[in-house]
Structure 1
Amino acid sequence: MNKVLVYTKDPSPRFEYVIRHIEGYFNNLSLESCGELEVYLQWTGLSIQHGQEDLKLKEFKMNRSVHFDKTLDKLIEDGEDFLQTIHCSAEISQDFDLISAIFWHLSRIEEYFPIALDHHGRFPASKSILFKKNILHLPLVDLWIFEWAKKLEDFFGMSIHLKPQLTDWSVGIDVDQFYKHQHKPLFKKLGGCLKDLSSGKLTDVWERIQIYSGLIKDPYDTYEEVRKLNIPKSSLCYFILSGGQSPYDKNHSLRQKVILLKIKDLERFSEIGLHPSYESNRQSDLIKRELHTLQQCCSEPIVKSRQHYLRIGLPDTYRLLIEAGIQEDYSMGYAEQTGFRAACCRPFHWYDLQREQSTELIIVPFSLMDRTYLTYLKYQPSQAILDMQSLWDTCKKYQGHFHIIWHNSSFDFLGEWKNWDGVFEKMVTQLIDLPKNEDPTIKSRETSIRNL
């Protein structure tokens, strides 16, 4: 193990947070932060300085930005002048501050600034610095750390090895409605039929009649088909909507026996996560109540969540999840664009900028979502497959975690998902077959970062 002392003249939770994140990439590199100059000067081992002073004959220097120690209020006051300084390029200039650059992206600093949200109250991709720079598809944080490690190898004449990821991909299936038409109250069935009739949607009326009479299967009832793909249980999670009263919350009651049995069945081959309702992103009591409702249906603890409609409001949403006992959240991404919202393809701890503290909540960023391709980008299936492959290749290159979002409703191939039959299966089959071809976790044990 190579122990490195990293000196900063102004120690802070921000600095420690970034150091711990960087250290998590490597098997044989131990980074210890130091704020005492005398201790640093007396240290005879490998030395790094976050600054440009001449303190030692042999030390690796990292530039320090003037903005790094400013309070959130001061940064917001600086406004666009500060935001324009956030590094958003794969190219590393002389004045590049790795520590600051990583921190601004992982902390999602830009989402704390006053900005016009979209119609669902979300921070829009079009307002993000990465989107404006046309670099959303590149996990800059991972790239920078890799390049930094290579420079460190050259400077100290050492070999740095990556820490293997235990799981390099996962699939999250959001269940907004267990069934399209089945197992709903009679008044909803009649109301739906009348609404379709009045709108002239005779094909939809006929579909309802066939489903109600048992002639065809409900198109959202795709659970058995997913099970037959043999996705490892640890790599598959169903995120279930368990409450909510808004027009966007349409799931069945979990008190229904048929739904309870379905959840029990899902637990046999997948993990279960919470899909907090539309209005829950700023209401603690709702998340706790919905988590309790879902937990009563499950035999294993519910520790994962993904926000309905990806509605994240920083810092409130993540604080509420922590209060409710959630340990991992899978909402970090955009509805309208694929790529890496936090410029990172690895899980990371959430940093509460207002309280200036790192938390135990793990953020697992997702790379793509089915709805993004159909509704926002309006891709054909062939285009989507190419983009999925490109994102997967990127995650493999930087040995990140490739998480994809799908919906049980996206298998409705007679409806809006016509011609998308087989897309999900093609992507997932490739992921499942990975160990037979190229397992990056094995590769990372055998080579230094120089060989990647």
Structure 2
Amino acid sequence: MLLIYTQKITPRIVYTFKHICTNILGISIKFTTRIEEFIAHEGMKLSYGKQALGNELFLQKVDLLLEQGLGEVDIKVQPWGDNFCFFPVSENSALPFDIFAASFFLLSRYEEYLPHVKDDFGRFPASESVGYQEGFLHAPVVDIWAYKFKEILLERFPEISLANREFHTEAVIAVEHVFNFQNKGFLRSLAGLHLDIIKLQFNKVIDRLQVLMRIKKDPINIFEDLIGFIKEHKVSMLFMFQLSDFSIYDRNINYNRNPYRSIIKYVADYAKVGLIPGYFAFDDFKTLRKEKLRMENTVHTPLERVINVKYNLNIPEFYTFLTELEIPHDYSMGYPETAGFRAGTCSPFLFYDINTESTLALKIHPYVFNSNIVETTDTGKLTSDVGKMLNEVKKVDGSFKAIFKNQDFSEYANFKAYYALINQIYEIK
């Protein structure tokens, strides 16, 4: 057990120390504000304050974890070995910066609460983040810092017991549309056929007619192929389905159609499944609860996983909705149009709500890239970038998650490129 002295124990201090020390490094910790208890302690101990008490392991702090609410934050990024850090402190500290304040700033998404320029879809863009602006977006800096801290702990306390983490990869398949042509209804099918003819997409005209006559399988119904991939390579994969009402934003078929429900049940027999909330569910609690119940009535198990693949993440309100609905896992923490580590980490973490200064019972599973970037990125560069990020995650025994769409693996996409990416992620030769 590691005893930590600090003059004041705040929710932010407890949250960040637990994540770095316990969740990442596997160290049990205890806090004290009593100097006499700290001095009398004969085991492993460190102090977190403005100055050291004696010859203990000392980490100097800045004030961020003592504050409440939002304030002006001065970020001065500086190089640290092969990486970067910010919130510098004096040479008396065992680390040249406040690792806990810097980690809290990234994990809590502090910068997303502050005024910022939104993108065309009303989202917080990667270009507004300190990680992007300072050139460390492609590195899981929180985990890298934690492992540097681990080295210091081992040097000072050789007897310390640390956790052994394992590198893990997982593809998440976001399914907004189960079918391209099937079960769309007469009017939608007729309108789609007319549009294909106008665009001179005669191959789609033929495919649509063959699907409607049940001569051919719907081209984006590729779930048997992906389940086959799971069985062959014995990998973990997560499928997220949308069950929202039809609208201008969400144009899926009726969630109650038997073919739709059958595919969800089929996939759930071989992989984990979750929910993609519709556009209106991110701002309306009742809509989100309705869609949650639809998924639970389909798979007959409590809904545990949710992802937002394209809309504004709406921090922290949406995460508060998930907590109130007792949905324990979210997979939305990433940038839909930019590769990188949005929260600076490749480790699952509990979300801290700055508005209420409390830790939510919601585990965030960050992803590294969304397949949206494939169409706008050179193949060679993308392969290289993914390889570099995989190596960064491996170094800290983290989790590498990537988002794909079922359409990526259909005949209408460059499916060979997407399969090459998924093979690279799972390290399949």
TM-score (norm 2): 0.90
Q: Residues of 2 paired with 1:331 and 1:421: CA distance?
A: 20
The SS at the match of 1:219 is coil
User: Structure 2 vs 1, CA of residues 212 and 274 (structure 1 numbering), >3 Å: closer, same or farther?
Assistant: same
- More divergent stretch after superposition (249-258 vs 399-408): 249-258
User: Structure 2 vs 1, CA of residues 269 and 226 (structure 1 numbering), >3 Å: closer, same or farther?
Assistant: same
After superposition, the C-alpha distances for 1:49-91 in whole angstroms (9 at most, x for unaligned) are 11242422x3111111133322224x1xx2xxx1424778624
Instruction: Read off the aligned partner of 2:25 and give its amino acid letter.
Output: F
After superposition, the C-alpha distances for 1:262-319 in whole angstroms (9 at most, x for unaligned) are 1111111011101111222121111100011111110322110001415311110100
The SS at the match of 2:427 is helix
> What is aligned with 1:25?
24
1:174/1:275 contact within 8 Å kept: yes
After superposition, the C-alpha distances for 1:71-127 in whole angstroms (9 at most, x for unaligned) are 224x1xx2xxx1424778624555411110111111010000121222222110010
Q: Residues of 1 paired with 2:426 and 2:144: CA distance?
A: 28
> What is aligned with 1:42?
40
Instruction: Read off the aligned partner of 2:51 and give its amino acid letter.
Output: E
> What is aligned with 2:67?
70
Confirm or deny that 1:147 pairs with 2:124: no
Counting only pairs closer than 5 Å after superposition, residues 426-445 of structure 1 correspond to structure 2 as 426-427=423-424, 430=427
Q: Residues of 2 paired with 1:384 and 1:400: CA distance?
A: 20
Deviation at 1:339, TM superposition (A): 1.3
User: Structure 2 vs 1, CA of residues 105 and 428 (structure 1 numbering), >3 Å: closer, same or farther?
Assistant: closer
2:50/2:60 contact within 8 Å kept: yes
Confirm or deny that 1:197 pairs with 2:197: yes
Counting only pairs closer than 5 Å after superposition, residues 328-343 of structure 1 correspond to structure 2 as 328-343=329-344
Q: Residues of 2 paired with 1:91 and 1:68: CA distance?
A: 20
Confirm or deny that 1:348 pairs with 2:349: yes
Confirm or deny that 1:358 pairs with 2:359: yes
Confirm or deny that 1:403 pairs with 2:401: yes
Counting only pairs closer than 5 Å after superposition, residues 156-195 of structure 1 correspond to structure 2 as 156-158=157-159, 161-165=162-166, 168-195=168-195
Instruction: Read off the aligned partner of 1:230 and give its amino acid letter.
Output: I
> What is aligned with 2:75?
84
Instruction: Read off the aligned partner of 1:252 and give its amino acid letter.
Output: I
The SS at the match of 2:363 is strand
Gaps of 5+ in 1: 434-452
User: Structure 2 vs 1, CA of residues 244 and 72 (structure 1 numbering), >3 Å: closer, same or farther?
Assistant: farther
Counting only pairs closer than 5 Å after superposition, residues 79-158 of structure 1 correspond to structure 2 as 82-85=73-76, 90-91=83-84, 94-95=89-90, 96-158=97-159
Counting only pairs closer than 5 Å after superposition, residues 241-280 of structure 1 correspond to structure 2 as 241-280=242-281
1:173/1:408 contact within 8 Å kept: yes
Deviation at 1:403, TM superposition (A): 1.1
1:310/1:334 contact within 8 Å kept: no
User: Structure 2 vs 1, CA of residues 177 and 369 (structure 1 numbering), >3 Å: closer, same or farther?
Assistant: same
Aligned residues: 417
2:408/2:415 contact within 8 Å kept: no
> What is aligned with 2:323?
322
Deviation at 1:38, TM superposition (A): 2.9
The SS at the match of 1:173 is strand
User: Structure 2 vs 1, CA of residues 363 and 421 (structure 1 numbering), >3 Å: closer, same or farther?
Assistant: closer
Instruction: Read off the aligned partner of 1:67 and give its amino acid letter.
Output: L
Q: Residues of 2 paired with 1:270 and 1:174: CA distance?
A: 13
The SS at the match of 1:269 is coil
Deviation at 1:179, TM superposition (A): 0.8
Instruction: Read off the aligned partner of 2:210 and give its amino acid letter.
Output: Q
- More divergent stretch after superposition (196-205 vs 291-300): 196-205
Instruction: Read off the aligned partner of 2:138 and give its amino acid letter.
Output: H
Deviation at 1:233, TM superposition (A): 8.4
2:165/2:398 contact within 8 Å kept: no
After superposition, the C-alpha distances for 1:346-396 in whole angstroms (9 at most, x for unaligned) are 00000011100111100000112111222xxx1244433333222222211
Q: Residues of 1 paired with 2:78 and 2:362: CA distance?
A: 25
Gaps of 5+ in 2: 91-96
Deviation at 1:409, TM superposition (A): 1.0
Instruction: Read off the aligned partner of 2:414 and give its amino acid letter.
Output: W
1:4/1:46 contact within 8 Å kept: yes
Instruction: Read off the aligned partner of 2:285 and give its amino acid letter.
Output: S
1:310/1:331 contact within 8 Å kept: no
The SS at the match of 2:135 is coil
Confirm or deny that 1:298 pairs with 2:289: no
1:345/1:401 contact within 8 Å kept: yes
Deviation at 1:138, TM superposition (A): 0.5
> What is aligned with 2:374?
373
- More divergent stretch after superposition (202-211 vs 305-314): 202-211
Deviation at 1:424, TM superposition (A): 4.5
User: Structure 2 vs 1, CA of residues 49 and 143 (structure 1 numbering), >3 Å: closer, same or farther?
Assistant: same
User: Structure 2 vs 1, CA of residues 113 and 86 (structure 1 numbering), >3 Å: closer, same or farther?
Assistant: farther
1:172/1:405 contact within 8 Å kept: yes
The SS at the match of 1:402 is strand
Instruction: Read off the aligned partner of 2:178 and give its amino acid letter.
Output: F
Instruction: Read off the aligned partner of 1:169 and give its amino acid letter.
Output: T
1:282/1:320 contact within 8 Å kept: no
User: Structure 2 vs 1, CA of residues 402 and 270 (structure 1 numbering), >3 Å: closer, same or farther?
Assistant: same
TM-score (norm 1): 0.86
> What is aligned with 2:385?
387
Instruction: Read off the aligned partner of 2:368 and give its amino acid letter.
Output: S
Instruction: Read off the aligned partner of 1:213 and give its amino acid letter.
Output: M
Deviation at 1:332, TM superposition (A): 0.3
User: Structure 2 vs 1, CA of residues 285 and 301 (structure 1 numbering), >3 Å: closer, same or farther?
Assistant: same
- More divergent stretch after superposition (197-206 vs 303-312): 197-206
Instruction: Read off the aligned partner of 2:65 and give its amino acid letter.
Output: F
